[in-house]
């Protein structure tokens, strides 16, 4: 098929056709004629009928060196443009290394990692501004990168592997300290208005660790973070990787799992056999920026049909390209609204 640009007019025309034909699904009998974003999302989480499938998407803004006000402004601008049912707030501010260090490599460097009461003050500032702007019209979740990934960013993948192999006790101590900091941040995020967290786990993957190794070395630190939000009804586990440790990850205490259908090769119906909560995904994050209207429509149709509009949030499997065209976002929004 010849690739076509994605002008808004084409999406609107296609969306209208799909709505008339019912190929994205008619409004279900018994569902409210028009739900609010919060009503729609909560109904999806409960497995109830919805007027249409809720959707969301996200990308990085590259503002980690800017104040929280800039991050909030970019997030709200994205929200107004894309108009998702759920706002996933990006969190690109780096975890602060011990004073005087830029990168950790030696054992004495790692020994200096201690829990922090407020590791991301600019992010908390941004969350408060976002909550003030949303005024309860939509729920938002705070993105958390699990402690294994944070430790990699403080050093390197190679150095972290060496630490794990040479001094596993220190390795686990480091992850626990970072997780305690993350848990402190999560509590501040909830106080700022977040409905829960989007915990991105990248090391629970066959290309990174053995399944038993991750159970022994990584799971505990993930659960420390989730324990801080155990009373919230909207906690999302982002399964990052091509061969995830599904048997471990589906036991995590979350209501939603987000993963890449296309990256893992596991379809939504297959994922449903592993996890009975709400699934979030279906769209190809790697190709969405260049897909034709027909291709994107087929992805949406397939995802909605697979999940039968129950316990499902339409989204990419990961962050979409940072330079994605505004026309693509507008088109996705219009197609999703007809779902």
* Spans of all domains in the chain: 53-337
In contact, 38 and 85? CB cutoff 8 Å: no
32: pLDDT confidence band, cut at 50, 70 and 90? low
C-beta of residue 189 within 8 angstroms of C-beta of residue 90: no
Could you give the C-alpha distances from 120 to 102, 224, 322, in angstroms and in order? 17, 18, 22
Q: What is the rounded average pLDDT of the residues 26-40?
A: 70
**pTM for the full predicted model:** 0.89
Check pLDDT > 90 for residue 272. yes
**What digits encode the pLDDT tens for the residues 206-261?**
999 999 999 999 999 999 999 999 999 999 999 999 999 999 999 999 999 999 99
State the Cα–Cα distance between residues 268 and 251, nearest whole angstrom.
18
Given a cut of 50, is residue 161 above it in pLDDT?
Answer: yes
- Name the band, by pLDDT with cuts 50, 70 and 90, for residue 326: confident
Question: Residue 259 pairs with which residues in a beta bridge?
Answer: 239
- Look at phi and psi of residue 60 and say left if phi exceeds 0, alpha if psi is from -120 to 50, else beta: beta
Distance in angstroms (rounded) separating the CA atoms of residues 92 and 248 = 27
Q: Annotate 23-59 with b (16+ C-beta within 10 A) or e (fewer).
A: bbbebeeebeeebebbbbbbbbbeeebbbbbbbbbbb
Inter-axis angle of helices 147-154 and 157-166, nearest 10: 110
Q: Could you write out the DSSP letters of every residue in 200-254?
A: EE-SSBTTT--HHHHHHHTHHHHHHHHHTTTT-S--EEEE-SSSB-HHHHTTSS-
Determine the 3-state secondary structure of 32 from DSSP.
Answer: coil
| Residue labelled with tokens 């991301």 | 120
> DSSP letter at 55?
B
Task: Give yes or no for a contact between 249 and 228, defined as CB atoms under 8 angstroms apart.
Answer: no
Q: How far out from the chain centre does Cα 255 lie?
A: 13
Q: Inform me whether the pLDDT recorded for 329 exceeds 60.
A: yes
Banded model confidence at residue 339, pLDDT cuts 50, 70, 90: low
Of 3.20.20.210, 3.40.50.300, 1.10.10.10, 3.30.470.20, which CATH number belongs to 53-337? 3.20.20.210
Which pair of tokens denotes residue 320? 């979409």
For 232, the token pair is 């919230």
Widest Cα–Cα separation across the chain = 66
Tokens 């471990």 belong to residue:
248
Helix (H, G, I), strand (E, B) or coil at 198: strand
The least confident of 15-29, 92-106, 119-133, 249-263 is 15-29
Question: Distance (Å, rounded) from C-alpha 314 to C-alpha 334?
Answer: 13
pLDDT at 24 over 80: no
């Amino acid at each position: 098929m010849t690739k076509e640009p994605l002008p808004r007019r084409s999406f609107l025309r296609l969306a209208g056709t799909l709505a008339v034909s019912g190929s994205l699904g008619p409004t279900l009998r018994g569902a409210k004629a028009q739900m609010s974003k919060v009503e729609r999302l909560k109904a999806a989480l409960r497995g109830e009928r919805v007027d249409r499938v809720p959707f969301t998407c996200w990308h990085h803004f590259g503002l980690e060196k800017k104040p929280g006000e800039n991050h909030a402004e970019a997030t709200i601008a994205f929200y107004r443009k894309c108009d998702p049912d759920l706002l996933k707030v990006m969190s690109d501010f780096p975890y602060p290394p011990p004073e005087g260090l830029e990168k950790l490599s030696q054992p004495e460097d790692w020994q200096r990692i201690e829990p922090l009461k407020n590791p991301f003050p600019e992010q908390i500032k941004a969350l408060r501004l976002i909550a003030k702007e949303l005024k309860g019209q939509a729920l938002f979740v705070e993105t958390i990168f699990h402690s294994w990934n944070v430790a990699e960013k403080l050093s390197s993948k190679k150095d972290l592997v060496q630490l794990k192999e040479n001094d596993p006790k220190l390795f686990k101590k480091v992850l626990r300290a970072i997780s305690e900091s993350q848990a402190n941040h999560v509590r501040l995020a909830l106080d700022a208005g977040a409905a829960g967290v989007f915990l991105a786990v990248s090391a629970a993957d066959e290309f990174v660790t053995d399944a038993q190794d991750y159970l022994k070395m990584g799971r505990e630190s993930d659960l420390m973070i989730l324990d801080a939000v155990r009373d919230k009804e909207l906690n999302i586990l982002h399964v990052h990787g091509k061969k995830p440790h599904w048997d471990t990850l589906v036991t995590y205490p979350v209501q939603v799992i987000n993963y890449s259908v296309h990256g893992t090769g596991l379809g939504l119906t297959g994922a449903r056999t592993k996890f009975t909560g709400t699934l979030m995904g279906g769209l190809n994050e790697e190709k969405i920026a260049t897909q034709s209207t027909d291709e994107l429509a087929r992805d949406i149709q397939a995802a909605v049909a697979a999940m039968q509009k129950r316990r499902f949030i339409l989204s990419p499997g990961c962050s979409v390209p940072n330079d994605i065209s505004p026309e693509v976002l507008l088109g996705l929004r219009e197609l999703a609204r007809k779902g």
